[in-house]
Each structure stands twice: as C-alpha cells, then as structure tokens.
Amino acid sequence: MDISLQKVEYRYQAKTPFERLAIKDVSINIPSGTFLAIIGHTGSGKSTVLQHLNALLKPTAGKVVIGDKEVTADKKQKNLKEVRQKVGIVFQFPEHQLFEETVEKDICFGPMNFGVTMEEAQRRAKVAIKQVGLSEEILSKSPFDLSGGQMRRVAIAGVLAMEPDVIVLDEPTAGLDPRGRKEIMDMFHALHIERKLSTVLVTHSMEDASKYADHIVIMQNGEVYKKGTPEEIFTSPEDLMQLGLDVPEVVRFQQKIEETFHIKFSQTCLTVEMLTKEIASLLKGGGQK
Amino acid sequence: MMEKMIFGRYVPAQSLIHRMDPRSKLVIIFLFVCIVFIANNSLTYGLLAIYTLVMISLSKVPFRFIISGLKPVLWLVLFTLLLHLFLTKEGELLFQAGWFSIYEEGLRQGIFISLRFFLLILMTSILTLTTTPIEITDGLENLLHPLNKVKFPVHELALMMSISLRFIPTLMQETDKIMKAQTARGVDFSSGPIKDRVKAIIPLLIPLFVNSFKRAEELATAMEARGYRGGEGRTKYRQLSWGIKDTSMLVFLGILTALLVLFRT
C-alpha cells in the first residue's frame, strides 16, 4: 500500500494561546515495499509525521493519501478502521498499552477488533510470539509479570498479529540493551523482506537508519531538511554533523582515512564489511593516490 | 480532545494579576465567593460583573479563550437558568402555554443565580490561569500555617496538592498517548453504540492505573533518595512577597464590598 504526504502541516491546539506549529510543508512518498527511516532531534516533528500515517492526526493543511483513502483538513473521515488495520503502529514504549489478563488475550485484542475470529487470532498470536523471539509458554502468563524487554516484545507481537501491510515504528528499541536492540531490529528487517511490508522507522540512531533503510528523511524544526538514499545522505557527513546529528561510525572512520591519506574512496561505505573491502582493494592496488 | 479544557491550566504572561502574591489572590477569591451572596438586585450584580471583567482584562488572558474553555460549564449554567425558569412560581405571570408557564420571579432568580454561578467560575478560572500550581500550594501552605498548632498536617496537605496538580498534565498526555495506541489497535472511542464505547474504556483505564502506581512508587523513591523527610525545618526556594499591589487589590475588593452592602435592597 502506498502512502504519501503532500505539503502536510499540523498545528497542535489550533486557535488557543497554546497553539504550536509542529510540522509544515512536509511531503514524503512511501511506495509499497520501502524501508524508510525518519531521523531528527527530539521535537523535530518526527512523531507528529508518524501519527499522520494512519490518520490518528488529521493535517491542518495539505493532504495525506493512504492507499485509496484521502485525509484532508476539512473532510470528515469515516471508516478509518480499514486504514488502521493495514497500517500498524508500534508506539514508543509500547509496553504501556498492555492491559489484558494474559499475553495471549492482549495479542488477540488488535486482530479481534478488526473482526478476526477467536481461533484465527489465537493462531496468529502463536505465530507472532515466536516472531518476536519469545516462547509459547509465555502466552498464558500475565503481561504485568514479565520483564520490561519481554513486555516490549509482547506489545510488538500485538501489532504484528494484526497482519498490517505497513508497519510504523517509533523508536522501537529505546531503553533496550544493545543485544535486545539488535535482535528486534533484525526481526523487523527480516519481516520487512519476508512479508514484503513497507516499514517506516523513526529513530535517533544513524547506525540503524543506514543499516536497514533504503530511504532516509531528515527532519529539522518541523520541516524536511533532506531526503534520499543512505548513500546520498551520508556523502556529505559535514551537513549532518552541523545539525548536531550523529553520523555512523563507519562513515566517520572512512572520512578520517580519506583526510589522513589524502585519498577518496569510490563510494560512501555504510557497513564495516563494505569499508573493509574498499580498504583491502586499495591496499592490493598498491595505493593509487 | 482534552486540548480545550482550561481547568487547572496556567497561561504564562506578564500581567498585574500574574505578578500578585498567590496569598492575596487566594484571599481575594475566598472573599469574593462570600460577597457574591450579598448581591440581590441588578445594580449589585452589575457591579460584580464589572469587577470580574476588570479582573479578566487585567490578567491579559484572551477573553475568547476563557469562554471557549468554559463551554462545558456553560451547559451547567444554562441548566440552572432553566431550572429556575420552570420551577419558581412567584410574581407576575409572563408567559403561558398549556402546563408550561414562566413567572417574573422565576426569570429574575434564574438570571441572577446563573450569573452568580458564572462569575464564581470565571474568578476561580482567573486564579488558576494566572497562578502556577506551585504558587497556589505555596500560598495555601503559608495561609494555613497557623493550623499547624492544632496538629493539622499542613505541609503534607500542600505536598499532596502540588503532586496531584503536577501530574494532571502528565496524566492527560498519557491518556492521549494510550488512546492513540489503542485506536491504532482498532478501538473506536468516539463512535458506535454506548455499550461498545464503555467497553473501550477498559483498555484505556488499566494501563493508566498501572502506570500511575509505578510512577507514584518511583516518585517516592526519588524523593527519599534526596533526603526528603517531611516539612520540618525545610526552607523555601521561592519566597512569597506581599507588595503594594496586593494590598491595593484587597482595598479595591473592600470598596466593592462596601458598594454592594450600600446598594443591596
């Protein structure tokens, strides 16, 4: 399912003394099957953009097209359920949304809201709990007896069980240990490829963005500052550093080598493997300057 | 959804009312609540209304904002008006259609009582709109200080108040966040039959409760870790200062009271 934002503007609490412009003139295209990363500082409007992706917020100007649905400021929307089933959002700290007595019931909650039968929902719960790397025994436990990391995974399973076409992640790994972080990101990446999903990842981590995404949007003060493929974004790391954003370690390392030895690699490397190959071929080639 | 509520919200600005000592504001509100009952004719009610309008304009909070924020309460005011209109059967008969009749006294009473109600709400809103919760509790603690002598836990009460006021916005934000998360999971909070909507509250309330308990515990730990042991010997970072403007505002209210007493019938 394609999603596109066209010149979207959003104001919080419009027409009160508390009015605040959150995003303006944001245009982003998310064709089916893309892995898009949205990067920016706290308060740059990333989370606001994300809530437009399944019509939780209605733009105050511009329009959002989700599949064949159009969401604009003045149109009253009915039947958003369909959109919400197709676009699953994993919010920041999703463990805060757990409420059922058992993990199984909580995972089934989403699908059953969208009219899936009990048996089908339970089948999906079994699949989803394995996808997030937990065992089936956990299904009968209370979600409030689990550890923080496990709760996070259960909440994610709850969204996966809705079987959305587009999955939107708001800093899904915040507050996890490095291993849990990698496991969860790898899982989303695997799912992305396996189910041919579109994935939108909102993150602080440049490493994650460069590793998994095939498109990156950088937000700054509520506007799109830059967009492109990771290679395009990271060819000018100085820009990003000026914004105070982190640049992946590999890119920084490559930059240092280039400075020290006065050479230029043929491409911007985004993974350690790529850079190693570049350096190896350089060394073998006898160091053309 | 809750964006428009103005109860307990603070609008930062630099106005005379904002800069007043919270103690004088509390005293004035308390006295105002009392003297409202002195008024009993159009002239005295007019004086009260003018006083309230002056206070609003001095506070520099946009009038339209206050009114739009008070919309939910306006229904209550309207209800009061109608109740008096229909139920008081004194004075001259003004209008009759079948069993339905309106009497002069009913109309008069209805307008006065709902005006009184409305003015009270306006004045108390001005207090919360121009005073931060911390200032209010500091002022209250200071005013209630004498009660310490009779072993009334003034400090604890003030602390409880400031903590609950402090967490109102947090709770609002969290409600909003969880509502959105559950909406994304297919819950419909705003349409459908009543039965379904009541059911939809459960996935909202349970996480809210769980998180509140967690937060309360964390707060208690954080306070103890920083050596909090109650109010004894505790000094204040924010000092209250009673100035000329506070005294003159009280005098102003005194003049109003005198006028009310003078003109009441």
Question: A87 - beta bridge partners?
Answer: A166
Is some CB atom of chain A closer than 8 A to the CB atom of B202? yes
Quick check: B11 and A17 CB within 8 A?
A: yes
Question: Which tokens in the block code for residue A184?
Answer: 């969860």
User: Which residue out of A53, A82, A97, A114 would a mutagenesis test of the B interface target, given it has the greatest number of B Cβ atoms within 10 Å?
Assistant: A97
Residue A262 lies in a domain: yes
- Spell out the residues 6+ positions from residue A204 whose beta carbon is closer than 8 angstroms to its own: A39, A171, A246
Contacts of B218 in chain A (CB under 8 A): none
What does the block give as tokens for B60?
Answer: 């520099």
Nearest chain A Cα to B199, which residue? A113
Question: Does A275 have pLDDT greater than 70?
Answer: yes
Measure CB to CB from residue A99 to each of B61, B184, B203 and give the nearest one.
B203
For residues A123-132, give the mean pLDDT: 93
> How far apart (Å, rounded) are the C-alpha atoms in residues B83 and A145?
53
With an 8 Å Cβ cutoff, are B211 and A96 in contact? yes
Quick check: is A272 in a domain? yes
- What pLDDT sits at residue A286? 58
Q: CB distance A17–B183 less than 8 Å? A: no
Q: How many CB pairs below 8 Å do chains A and B form together? A: 63
| Strand order, beta sheet including A215-220 | A87-90, A166-170, A198-203, A35-40, A215-220, A223-228
DSSP A75: P
For the ranges A104-118, A157-171, B153-167, B239-253, the lowest mean pLDDT is seen at: B153-167
Interchain CB contact of A142 with B (< 8 Å):
no
- Determine, for residues B180 and A96 on separate chains, whether the beta-carbon distance falls below 8 Å: no
Residue A5: closest CA among A44, A45, A52, A40: A52
For position B236, what pLDDT does the model report? 80
Q: Is A85 on the interface with B (CB under 8 A)?
A: yes
Output the average pLDDT for chain B. 86
Nearest to B178 among A85, A96, A162 (CB): A96
* Position B152 confidence tier, pLDDT thresholds 50, 70, 90: confident
Do the chains contact at B184 and A81, CB–CB below 8 Å? no
In a domain, A54, yes or no: no
Q: Which of B184, B185, B207 sits opposite A96 (nearest CB)?
A: B207
Q: Is the pLDDT of residue A15 over 80?
A: no
Place of tokens 């399973």: A157
pLDDT at position B157 is: 87
CA distances (Å), A155 to each of A8, A63, A104, A152, B183, in order? 30, 30, 11, 5, 14
Asked if pLDDT for residue B105 goes beyond 60, the answer is yes
Residue A104 falls within a domain, yes or no?
no
Confidence of residue B247 (pLDDT cuts 50, 70, 90): very high
Q: What residues contact A170, with CB distance under 8 A and at least 6 apart?
A: A46, A47, A50, A89, A90, A91, A92, A202
pLDDT in tens, A52-86: 998 888 899 999 999 888 888 877 777 788 888 99
Looking at residue A158, its pLDDT comes to: 94
pLDDT of the residue at A120: 94
Percent of chain A with pLDDT over 90: 45
Using CA atoms, how far apart are residues B100 and B108, in angstroms rounded to an integer?
17
The answer, yes or no, to whether residue A14 has pLDDT greater than 80, is no
Contact A81 B65 (CB under 8 A): no
Residue B87 has pLDDT above 90, yes or no: no
Torsion of CA B221, B226, B232, B234, to 10 degrees: -140
**Residues B121-151: pLDDT tens digits?**
899 888 988 988 888 888 988 899 898 888 8
What's the pLDDT at B191? 76
In terms of pLDDT, which residue wins out, B25 or B191?
A: B25
Most confident option among A25-34, B89-98, B225-234? A25-34
How does residue B5 score in pLDDT terms, banded at 50, 70 and 90?
Answer: low
Percent of chain A with pLDDT over 70: 99
Q: Per the structure block, which two tokens stand in for A243?
A: 């914004």
B contact test, residue of A11, A85, A96 with most B CBs within 10 A:
A96
Q: Confirm whether A283 is domain-assigned.
A: yes
Count CB neighbours of B257 within 10 A.
15
Cβ contacts of B181 on chain A, cutoff 8 Å: 89, 91, 94, 96-97
Contacts with B68 from chain A: Cβ below 8 Å:
16
State how far the Cα of B222 lies from the Cα of B69, in Å rounded to an integer: 35
B62, B178, B185 ranked by CB distance to A110: nearest: B185
Q: Is the pLDDT of residue A162 over 60?
A: yes
Domain ranges, residue A262? 248-289
Calculate mean pLDDT across residues B89-113: 80
- Contact yes or no for A81 and B186 at CB 8 A: yes
pLDDT at A288 over 60: no
CB contact under 8 A, B187 and A113: yes
d(CA B130, CA B238): 17
pLDDT average, residue stretch A112-116:
90
A168 close to A147: Cβ distance less than 8 angstroms? no
Burial label, A111 (beta-carbon count in 10 A; 0-12, 13-18, 19+): buried
In whole angstroms, what is the distance from residue B259 CA to residue A54 CA? 60
pLDDT of amino acid B3:
53
Q: Do A162 and B187 touch (CB under 8 A)?
A: no
Average pLDDT of chain A, as a whole number: 88
Residue A190 in any domain: the answer is no
Give the pLDDT of residue A289.
47
Helix (H, G, I), strand (E, B) or coil at B9: coil
Q: How far apart, in whole angstroms, are the C-alpha atoms of residue B239 and residue A196? A: 62
Using CA coordinates, name the residue in chain A closest to B212: A96
Instruction: Give the pLDDT score at B1.
Output: 42
Q: Inspect the interface and report whether the beta carbons of B3 and A56 lie closer than 8 Å.
A: no
Q: Decide if pLDDT at A271 tops 90.
A: no
Q: Pairing state of beta strands A87-90 and A166-170?
A: parallel
| pLDDT, tens digit, 9 for 90 and up, residues A195-248 | 899 999 998 888 888 889 999 999 988 999 989 998 888 887 777 878 877 788
What one-character-per-residue DSSP string does B25-83 give?
HHHHHHHHHHHTTT--SHHHHHHHHHHHHHHHHHHT--HHHHHHHTHHHHHHHHHHHHH
Our count of domains for chain A comes to 1
Q: Spell out which residues of chain B touch residue A84, defining contact as CB-CB under 8 Å.
A: 183-186
Q: What are phi and psi of A45, to 5 degrees?
A: 100, 5
Q: What is the pLDDT of residue B6?
A: 63
Q: Is residue B100 scored above 80 in pLDDT?
A: no
The answer to whether the CB of B80 falls within 8 A of the CB of B113 is yes
Please report the DSSP string for A182-201 in residue order.
HHHHHHHHHHHHHTT-EEEE
- ipTM beyond 0.95? no
Give the separation between CA A30 and CA B49, rounded to whole angstroms.
57
CB contact under 8 A, A85 and B186: yes
More confident residue, A7 or B64: A7
In a domain, A267, yes or no: yes
Query: From the CB of residue A78, how many other CB atoms can be counted at a distance below 10 Å?
Result: 7
* Residue whose C-alpha is closest to residue A34's, from A259, A171, A199, A167: A199
Chain B partners of A97 at a C-beta cutoff of 8 Å?
178, 181-182, 185, 203, 207
**Is residue A254 assigned to a domain?**
yes
pLDDT higher at B74 or A137? A137
Model confidence pLDDT, tens digit, residues A185-208: 999 999 999 989 999 999 888 888
| Contact status of A79 with chain B (Cβ, < 8 Å) | no
pLDDT in tens, B200-238: 889 999 999 999 999 999 999 999 999 888 777 778 888
Q: Taking Cα atoms as reference points, which of B76, B61, B71 lies closest to residue B2?
A: B71
- Residue in chain A closest to B9 (alpha carbons) equals A18
Mutate to test the interface with A, among B185, B196, B212 (most CBs of A within 10 A): B185
Closest residue in B to A163 (Cα–Cα): B185
**Mean pLDDT, residues A38-46:** 87
For A90, counting Cβ atoms within 10 Å of its Cβ (0-12 exposed, 13-18 middle, 19+ buried), the class is buried
Chain A positions touching B62 (Cβ under 8 A) are 17
